[in-house]
Amino acid sequence: MTLTKRVIPCLDIANGRVVKGLRFSSIKDAGDPVSLAEKYSKEGADELVFLDITASEERREIIKTLVQKVAQVIDIPFTVGGGVSTLQNARDILLSGADKVAINTGAVKNPQIITQLMQQFGRQCVVVAIDAKRNYNTEKGKNIFSGSNRKYWFEVFIYGGKEETGLDVIEWAKKVEKLGAGEILLTSIDRDGTKDGYDIELTRTIVDAVTIPVIASGGCGKPEHMLDVFKKSKVEAALAASIFHYEDQSVNRVKEYLKENTIPVRL
């Protein structure tokens, strides 16, 4: 049986509004989270991801009332992340209506929380978000790639892409799977907001390194980019924001395009 590929709109939240940036900066407003969530649910999104992108950096908890409002208007699986660093943070998010919790900075700071979340809520509830960026200082890297006559490795970043960690993304992905993550949300900082397409090399590398599902994120500017990442990697889901927020495409139109091009999707 062929598993259907998932198409996932993402709501990046700052100050209670949906925003979109370029490589994690130059943030601009993209709309109301509740109305956008309802729209995407009705259009046939397979899931919805809600990320409070400044929560970790501002050392605060996620906006639970907003999570509750979004949960009330959708009937699809709902992943919520931002500022998760304790089991209580995760419990609050799940009690607010989320189906899964995404953790990034909190997991890097305290990797054992991944295991604790898995034991408490089940592996299927634990999504580890990984933000990665090319680093051309190869003296620091473990898994070195070559491209355009320059060598590089992929480094994990935290606090909304603002702080480097020194962690190699392949090693970290393998570690989070071993610790209990049920899924990885992999974002290319280099491609984020560029609309130049997903980072196929990064995505394929991580998909091949782990056995849990991986969601590709960062760079989707048109349906062809989603087709490309599904054709060129074994990724199970593709996340996008800009193409949906600004009425470039509707979710169902993108899924119809994928189906026409032999990608198994649920319509």
Task: State the CB neighbour count (10 A cutoff) for residue 76.
Answer: 17
Structurally, the chain folds into a number of domains equal to 1
Q: Does 231 map to a domain?
A: yes
For residue 43, being part of any structural domain is answered with yes
3-state class (DSSP) for residue 120: helix
List of residues 6+ apart from 69 with CB closer than 8 A = 33, 34
Judge whether 29 counts as a catalytic residue.
no
In a domain, 71, yes or no: yes
Given this model, what pLDDT does residue 3 score? 86
DSSP secondary-structure letter at 125? Answer: G
- For residue 25, the model assigns a pLDDT of 54
Query: What CA–CA distance (Å, rounded) separates 238 from 98?
Result: 19
**pLDDT value, residue 24:** 53
What proportions of the chain, in percent to the nearest 5, are helix, strand and coil?
A: 35, 30, 35
Asked if the structure places residue 266 within a domain, the reply is: no
Task: Answer yes or no: is 31 within a domain.
Answer: yes
- Nearest to residue 211, comparing CAs of 152, 123, 150, 105? 123
131 is catalytic: yes
Residue 265 counted as domain residue:
no
Question: Which three-class secondary structure state does DSSP give residue 44?
Answer: coil
Range of the domain at 55: 6-260
Domain assignment present for residue 234? The answer is yes
Q: What is the CATH number of the domain that holds 16?
A: 3.20.20.70
Q: Quick count: other Cβ atoms within 10 Å of Cβ 43?
A: 17
User: What CA–CA distance (Å, rounded) separates 78 from 139?
Assistant: 40
Q: Which of 190, 176, 186, 195 is nearest to 216 (CA)?
A: 186
Mean pLDDT split into 10-residue runs, the chain, 267 residues: 88 84 63 92 96 75 86 96 93 96 97 98 98 91 82 93 94 98 97 93 97 97 96 97 80 96 96
pLDDT at 68: 95
SS3 label, residue 241? coil
Task: Provide the pLDDT for residue 43.
Answer: 95
pLDDT of 27: 65
DSSP state of 156: E
Amino acid at 45: A
- Asked whether 48 and 74 are in contact (CB, 8 A), the reply is yes
Q: What is the pLDDT of residue 228?
A: 98
From the candidates 46, 52, 92, 131, give the one annotated as an active-site residue.
Answer: 131
Phi-psi region of 164 (alpha: psi -120 to 50; beta: other; left: phi over 0): beta
Q: Which two tokens stand for residue 122?
A: 């089940």
Is 267 part of a structural domain of the chain?
Answer: no
* pLDDT number for residue 142: 78
Joined together, the tokens standing for residue 119 give 């034991």
**Sign of the dihedral defined by the CA atoms of residues 182, 188, 191, 192, in that order:** positive
